A and B are shown apart, each in its own frame.
Chain A
Amino acid sequence: MPIDINEDNLKHGLLGLVIAIVEVIRDALKHQALRRMEGGSLTDEEVERLGRALEEIDIAIDQMKEEQGVTDTVKQVRDGLDDLVDDVLDQILNPERWKEAEEEKAI
């Protein structure tokens, strides 16, 4: 399938990809922050600072997506990543089903 590339959609796609990756990193950060908070190793003040910093990242990302008009592109990239991970997990959890599909393809 030919891919239609021009300067505009290249910029658009690249930006969408970059922001999607930033979001994934942000989510990992959030996850870590939450674990530390729940683990009780943070003071109230540290929790407050961490919360504000993460909130600002959220706001900045949303603003950037809005301004550049890539909200949908970012969502597509993330959905694509989700599907990929789903498939990998499914292959591990339900090997029989994938074997069947492979055999069908072979015919």
Chain B
Amino acid sequence: MAEGRYVYCIVEGAQKAQLGNIGIDGSRVYTIHYKDISAVVHNSPAKPYESKDNEVVKNWVITHEKVIEKAWEKLGTVLPFGFDTIIKADEEKDQKDPEKIVKYWLEEDYQSLKEKLDKVKGKAEYGVQVSWDTKVISHMLTEKDEDLKKLSEEIKSKPRGAAYMYKQKLEKLLRGRLEREAERYFKDFYGRIREYADEIRMEKLKKDEEPRQMLMNVSCLADKEDVKVLGVELDKINNIEGFFVRFTGPWPPYSFV
């Protein structure tokens, strides 16, 4: 069968590195370089990895990410590639040596790969998720908002059925207030994070455990030095009553290539 090269990522530098048998299915991972950039690869068949078993695929993806992390740790700046990127021999160009094809591809895309590497140089990806406790915040809002306070007092004096209806009314009002507050906090936090991150990508909000609710889910590309200040800023947010910050990383810059 035709041979190919499975590509994990691109790294800076022309070093001939051996990363050991850490690749998918225990394959040997090494680098192929062109000028001062290298592809981290293993020798693979010229067809994608496929399996009907989700567990198997999951393990492959995990291995893929582990190799990228290893390369990142040992070789510095990386441009991670998605799972199952395979470069194969090109019959038309009459080029049957996959090694040469990788070099050829690096040469062709040299300029754009180099630019992308420069963009993420010395930087890492961090995940920031901010949640709030809707119970705590609702309570605080009711305390300081006259309308809400009045309404919740009124409920106490109503007969059962009417009290139920007024409770619905209170909840609706409260939802509106919460939304407004959420927007206000989001803008504030976003602005504060923006100062310490080179780039921010919005991610989809996930369900948090009740009564917690996620307000913000972003990936940031930040300088490994600047990130300490970002940490301090996030600590401040975490210390606001009813708010929780989850800060993860550093990761290879998966979301920014």
By a beta-carbon cutoff of 8 Å, the part of chain A in contact with chain B is 30, 33-34, 37-38, 44, 47-55, 79
Stretch at the interface among B13-21, B110-118, B164-172, B181-189: B164-172
Chain A residues whose CB sits within 8 angstroms of the CB of B161 once the complex forms: 47-53, 55
Closest to B172 in A: A34
Question: At the interface, yes or no: B207 with Cβ under 8 Å from chain A?
Answer: yes
10 contacts between A and B (CB under 8 A): A33-B168, A38-B169, A47-B165, A48-B160, A48-B162, A51-B164, A52-B164, A55-B160, A55-B161, A79-B207
How would residues 149 to 175 of chain B score, 1 for a CB under 8 Å from any chain A CB and 0 otherwise? 000000000011111110011001000
Q: A50 vs B161: C-alpha distance in the bound complex, in angstroms?
A: 7
Q: Chain A CB within 10 Å — which of B160, B163, B165, B169 has the most?
A: B165
Chain A residues whose CB sits within 8 angstroms of the CB of B168 once the complex forms: 30, 33-34, 54
Q: A34 vs B175: C-alpha distance in the bound complex, in angstroms?
A: 14
Q: A54 vs B162: C-alpha distance in the bound complex, in angstroms?
A: 11
Chain B residues whose CB sits within 8 angstroms of the CB of A47 once the complex forms: 161-162, 165
Q: A6 vs B64: C-alpha distance in the bound complex, in angstroms?
A: 38
| B172→A51 contact, CB < 8 A | no
User: Which applies to chain B's interface (DSSP): helix, strand, loop or mixed?
Assistant: helix
Q: Interface residues of B, CB < 8 Å — how many?
A: 11
Give, as a whole number of angstroms, the nearest-CB distance from A73 to chain B. 16
| A51→B160 contact, CB < 8 A | yes
Closest to A58 in B: B164
Q: Assuming A30-B168, A34-B168, A34-B169, is B207 touching A48 (CB within 8 A)?
A: no
Chain B residues whose CB sits within 8 angstroms of the CB of A37 once the complex forms: 165, 169
Closest to B165 in A: A51
Besides the contacts A49-B161, A55-B164, what 20 more A-B pairs have beta carbons closer than 8 Å? A33-B165, A33-B168, A34-B169, A37-B169, A47-B161, A47-B165, A48-B160, A48-B162, A50-B161, A50-B165, A51-B160, A51-B161, A51-B163, A51-B164, A51-B165, A52-B160, A53-B161, A54-B168, A55-B160, A79-B207
Chain B residues whose CB sits within 8 angstroms of the CB of A48 once the complex forms: 159-162
Give, as a whole number of angstroms, the nearest-CB distance from A28 to chain B. 13
| B162→A51 contact, CB < 8 A | yes
9 closest Cβ contacts across the A-B interface?
A51-B161, A52-B161, A48-B161, A51-B164, A51-B165, A55-B164, A48-B162, A47-B162, A34-B168
Chain B residues whose CB sits within 8 angstroms of the CB of A34 once the complex forms: 165, 168-169, 172
Chain A residues whose CB sits within 8 angstroms of the CB of B165 once the complex forms: 33-34, 37, 47, 50-51, 54
Give, as a whole number of angstroms, the nearest-CB distance from A60 to chain B. 14
Q: A55 vs B160: C-alpha distance in the bound complex, in angstroms?
A: 9
Q: A51 vs B159: C-alpha distance in the bound complex, in angstroms?
A: 10
Q: A8 vs B159: C-alpha distance in the bound complex, in angstroms?
A: 43
Give, as a whole number of angstroms, the nearest-CB distance from A99 to chain B. 16
